[in-house]
Amino acid sequence: MNQQATISPGIDQTAETTMEGSAEDMDDTIGGRITRARVAQGLTTAQLARRLGLKTTTLSHWESDRAEPRPNRLMTLAGVLAVSPTWLLTGQGTAPSEGGDDTNIRLLRQELSRLRDDAASLVERLERTIARLGE
């Protein structure tokens, strides 16, 4: 539900407010919200792209608003980033917490991310070895 804010002369105020989410979310683009959610999760562009099974350039295009994810990718992206698809599309709803996480939780997330990357690398090596032995 949007409401017009009262603007006093000489005071710079945001023209719209929302029940949930901030005016910053409303003015942002889908690319900006993807970036914001990725950073809140402590992920690099390469890490998020790998988790989504994308090329890093594809994710970079999404974040720079040169392209948008298809609906099925948007749903997966929202799940990985722990935000709602609605927030990614419109900025309405609950935004990710940036810096609000406890330091220990942030460190654990980083460690989990590193372990996932290491596991993916190991799986790729094993698949190559199996393919080579099967020839």
Task: Indicate whether 42 and 56 sit together in one domain.
Answer: yes
123 in the same domain as 62: no
Rounded to whole angstroms, how far apart are CA atoms 51 and 38?
Answer: 12
User: Residue 6 has which token pair?
Assistant: 């009262």
SS3 4: strand
Q: How confident is the model at residue 101 (pLDDT cuts 50, 70, 90)?
A: low
Give the number of domains in the chain: 2
pLDDT tens, residue by residue, 47-96:
999 999 999 999 999 999 999 999 999 999 999 998 999 999 999 988 88
Does any domain span residue 28? yes
Residue 31 lies in a domain: yes
Residues 91 and 105 in one domain: no
Pair (42, 83) in one structural domain:
yes
CATH number at residue 75: 1.10.260.40
Among residues 106, 128, 115, the alpha carbon closest in space to that of 50 is found at 115
For residue 51, being part of any structural domain is answered with yes
Q: Tell whether the model's pLDDT for residue 114 goes beyond 70.
A: yes
Whole domain around residue 45: which residue ranges? 15-97
Mark whether 25 and 65 lie in a shared domain.
yes
Pairwise CA distance, residues 127 & 41, whole Å: 29
Q: Which residues contact 22 (CB under 8 A, 6 or more apart)?
A: 91, 95
Strand, helix or coil at 41?
coil
- Report how far residue 81's alpha carbon sits from residue 75's, in angstroms, rounded to the nearest whole number: 10
Residue 104: pLDDT above 90? no
Q: Tell whether 105 and 73 lie within a shared domain.
A: no
Quick count: other Cβ atoms within 10 Å of Cβ 17?
15
pTM: 0.57
Residues 45 and 58 in one domain: yes
| Residue 109 pLDDT | 76
Position 26: which residue type?
M
Q: Clarify whether residues 83 and 62 are in a common domain.
A: yes
Whether residues 93 and 105 share a domain: the answer is no
